[in-house]
């Protein structure tokens, strides 16, 4: 990579462009992840065949390495900007009110003010999630594939796990609510007619993604209870 | 009817001195007074008593020069949208209110005295590229340089920026992206700004970072306090300009 490009991506604007690109990359992953996980609804055969096909493809290692790099870039860049922002205002205000109280032009929300918290929680969640599933108990199905269906059923039969996932998804929802719309702005995608639609589309996607992952553990829990 | 108010004002003797909030009682405040006139009256009182008057910046007092700028009860330029501090009137407050008055806060805006800050960081961003190098001469003949109406409207909307720094003051990251982007946009949209278009945005962003401003979180708190209601669409345009310029190797 030319050093000039690295320099450009280190500036405040370049960093935000990189955060937006990596964030959108992670959102694309979430779309594919949700699409795959919905197959759980179709029973053990379908779900296990899907996961087996996915994981037995050697390209999955390349994809995983790519995801790791994207994730780390997203985390490191945001942390650098977060600490930079602390330095940019060493002395805060005694009285502080959102300017949104003065004009509705502000897009500030609970989601936008808690990005660092919801982001760090997502990091914690990810470690737990990988430990539970990817590196979790290895069950083998009758057909010789990894029985992830059984693992999911077993894990989400514990109400504690279901509650943890639901809280995590609520926080990830907040992260996506601001992040998906903010990414468009960082990348310079803005148009008087299109911006309101992009904002709406980002929020719908946030609801669909977080909502989907919110309902799956609940569905699994109810399914485990019923059987 | 005259009101009595309590003012909680940031007092700081000099740039390297510690500061603190000090309470003052403002008597005989008329609802038709501007906020700065109210401070003038309080200062008259302080001078008569032999105290040091409260230092604050102001010049035109009609919302166009960009000199004044206070954080009033936690909001830059006070409660009125699309207004500077000098355009806030005391009818916005009720008798007995306590008003907290602080300077714009940012590392790049050091406090010089009380409520007066040094905003020359913004001037240095302009000096880094916010200009057209060639002498553009006198006013050109009408329509000799055709510019579509909606483009000139956009450029003029951006050019309204008075450089007050409220965008920085209200941003949780103390970012100067709205200011810089307004300057980048108004020149990027007009024909005279084309030759230096790519170099301008890169240099201005570099200078902005060098001054110690933060990065943008796309919250739009800047737009909400901007007395000229400059849109964060300018920031999207600056990012686009920056991306294009750096990809082109500027």
Per DSSP, the residues of B80-97 read STT--GGG-BGGGS-TT-
State how far the Cα of B61 lies from the Cα of B38, in Å rounded to an integer.
13
The percent of residues in chain B predicted with pLDDT above 70, rounded, is 100
The percent of residues in chain A predicted with pLDDT above 70, rounded, is 99
Token duo for residue B167: 């965008």
- For residue B69, the chain A residues in CB contact (below 8 A) are none
- For residue A77, the chain B residues in CB contact (below 8 A) are none
Token duo for residue A211: 């909502």
pLDDT in tens, B180-202: 999 999 999 999 999 999 999 99
In a domain, A113, yes or no: yes
Q: State which fold the B3-112 domain adopts.
A: Ubiquitin-like (UB roll) (3.10.20)
Mutation for A interface: B111, B207, B220, B240, most A CBs within 10 A: B220
State how far the Cα of A216 lies from the Cα of A33, in Å rounded to an integer.
12
State how far the Cα of B25 lies from the Cα of B215, in Å rounded to an integer.
39
Residues in chain B: 250
CA dihedral defined by A78, A80, A81, A87, rounded to 10 degrees?
150
pLDDT in tens, A81-139: 999 999 999 999 999 999 999 999 999 999 999 999 999 999 999 999 999 999 999 99
Structural domain containing residue A170: 3-87+108-226
For residue B118, which phi and psi values (nearest 5 degrees)? -95, 110
Q: Tell which A residues from 39 to 78 touch B, by Cβ distance under 8 Å.
A: none
Answer positive or negative: Cα dihedral of A14, A59, A139, A152.
positive
State how far the Cα of B227 lies from the Cα of B26, in Å rounded to an integer.
26
| pLDDT mean across residues, chain B | 96
| pLDDT mean across residues, chain A | 95
Whether chain B has a CB inside 8 Å of the CB on A117: the answer is: no
The pLDDT assigned to A7 comes to 85
Q: Which CATH class is domain B120-247?
A: mainly alpha
β-pairing, B98-102 vs B3-12, is parallel
**Contact in structure between A187 and A16 (CB atoms under 8 Å):** no
Q: Side by side, which strands form the sheet with B98-102?
A: B19-29, B3-12, B98-102, B71-72, B75-76
Query: CA A128 → CA A157, A213, B68, B79, distances in Å?
Result: 17, 15, 52, 46
Ranges of residues in chain A whose predicted pLDDT is under 50: none
In a domain, A209, yes or no: yes
Helix (H, G, I), strand (E, B) or coil at A55: helix
**Contact in structure between B211 and B217 (CB atoms under 8 Å):** no
pLDDT in tens, B233-247: 999 999 999 999 998
**Span B115-143, average pLDDT:** 92
The ipTM value here is 0.92
Q: Where are the domains of chain B?
A: 3-112, 120-247
The pLDDT assigned to B134 comes to 85
Query: Between these two residues, B165 and B145, which has the higher pLDDT value?
Result: B165
CATH number at residue A35: 1.20.1300.10
Contact pairs from chain A to chain B, CB under 8 Å: 163
pLDDT for B210 beyond 70: yes
Closest to B204 in 3D by CA, of B219, B193, B191: B193
Give CA A115 to chain center in angstroms.
12
Number of domains in chain A: 1
The pLDDT assigned to A227 comes to 80
End-to-end C-alpha distance for chain B, whole angstroms: 61
List, in order, residues 6 or more apart from A99 with CB less than 8 Å away. A106, A108, B75, B76, B170, B221, B222, B224, B225
The pLDDT assigned to A1 comes to 56
Determine whether the interchain pair A85/B173 forms a contact, defined as Cβ–Cβ distance below 8 Å: yes
Answer positive or negative: Cα dihedral of B124, B129, B132, B134.
positive
Concatenated DSSP letters of chain B: --EEEEEEEEEESSTTS-EEEEEEEEEEE-TTSBHHHHHHHHHHHHHHTTPPPPP---SSSSS-S-----EETTEET-SSTT--GGG-BGGGS-TT-EEEEE----TTS-EEETTEE--HHHHHHHHTT-S--S---SPPPTTSS---HHHHHHHHHHHT-----HHHHH-TT-B-HHHHHHHHHHHHSSGGGSTTHHHHHHHHHHHHHHTT-B---S--HHHHH-TT---THHHHHHHHHHHHHHHTT-
In a domain, A99, yes or no: no
Determine whether the interchain pair B239/A195 forms a contact, defined as Cβ–Cβ distance below 8 Å: no
Residues in chain A: 227
Residue B145 binned pLDDT confidence (cut-offs 50, 70, 90): confident
CA neighbours closer than 13 Å in the CB half-sphere of residue A173: 15
Mutation for B interface: A3, A13, A96, most B CBs within 10 A: A13
Closest to A119 in 3D by CA, of A87, A72, A181: A72
- For residue A93, the chain B residues in CB contact (below 8 A) are 71, 74, 102, 105
């Amino acid at each position: 990579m030319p050093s000039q490009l690295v320099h450009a991506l280190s500036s405040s604007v370049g960093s935000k462009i990189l955060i937006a690109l990596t964030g959108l990359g992670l959102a694309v992953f979430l779309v594919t992840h949700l699409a795959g996980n919905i197959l759980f609804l179709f029973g053990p055969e379908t779900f296990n065949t899907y996961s087996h096909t996915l994981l037995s493809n050697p390209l999955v290692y390349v994809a995983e390495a790519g995801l790791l790099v994207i994730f780390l870039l997203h985390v490191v860049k945001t942390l650098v900007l977060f600490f930079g922002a602390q330095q940019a205002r060493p002395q805060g205000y005694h009285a502080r009110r959102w300017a949104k109280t003065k004009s509705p032009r502000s897009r500030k929300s609970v989601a936008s003010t808690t990005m660092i918290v919801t982001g760090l929680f997502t990091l914690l969640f990810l470690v737990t999630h990988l430990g539970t599933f990817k590196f979790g108990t290895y069950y083998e199905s009758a057909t010789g594939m990894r029985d992830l269906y059984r693992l999911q059923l077993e894990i989400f039969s514990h109400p504690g796990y279901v509650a943890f996932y639901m809280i995590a998804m609520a926080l990830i929802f907040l992260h996506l609510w601001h992040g998906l719309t903010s990414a468009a702005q960082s990348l310079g995608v803005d148009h008087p007619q299109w911006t309101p639609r992009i904002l709406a589309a980002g929020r719908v996607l946030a609801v669909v993604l977080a909502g989907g992952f919110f309902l799956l553990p609940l569905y699994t829990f109810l399914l485990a209870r019923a059987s | 009817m005259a009101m009595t108010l309590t003012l909680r004002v940031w007092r700081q003797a000099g740039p390297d001195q510690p500061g603190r909030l000090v309470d003052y009682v403002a008597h005989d405040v008329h609802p038709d007074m501007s906020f700065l006139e109210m401070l003038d009256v309080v200062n008259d009182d302080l001078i008569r008593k032999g105290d040091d008057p409260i230092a604050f910046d102001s010049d035109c007092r009609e919302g166009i020069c960009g000199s004044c700028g206070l954080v009033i009860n936690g909001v830059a330029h006070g409660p009125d949208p699309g207004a500077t501090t000098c355009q806030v009137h005391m009818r916005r407050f009720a008798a007995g209110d306590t008003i907290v008055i602080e300077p714009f806060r940012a590392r790049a805006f050091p406090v010089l005295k009380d409520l007066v800050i040094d905003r020359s960081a913004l001037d240095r961003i302009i000096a880094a590229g916010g200009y057209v190098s060639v002498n553009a001469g006198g006013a050109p003949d009408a329509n000799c340089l055709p510019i579509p109406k909606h483009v000139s409207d956009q450029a003029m909307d951006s050019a309204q920026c008075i450089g007050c720094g409220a965008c920085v003051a209200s941003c949780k990251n103390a970012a100067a992206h709205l200011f810089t982007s307004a300057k980048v946009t108004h020149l990027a949209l007009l024909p005279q700004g084309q030759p230096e278009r790519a170099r301008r945005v890169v240099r201005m962003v570099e200078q902005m970072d060098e001054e110690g401003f933060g990065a943008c979180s796309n919250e739009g708190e800047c737009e909400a306090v901007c007395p000229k209601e400059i849109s964060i669409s300018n920031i999207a345009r600056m990012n686009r300009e920056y991306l294009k310029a750096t990809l082109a190797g500027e």
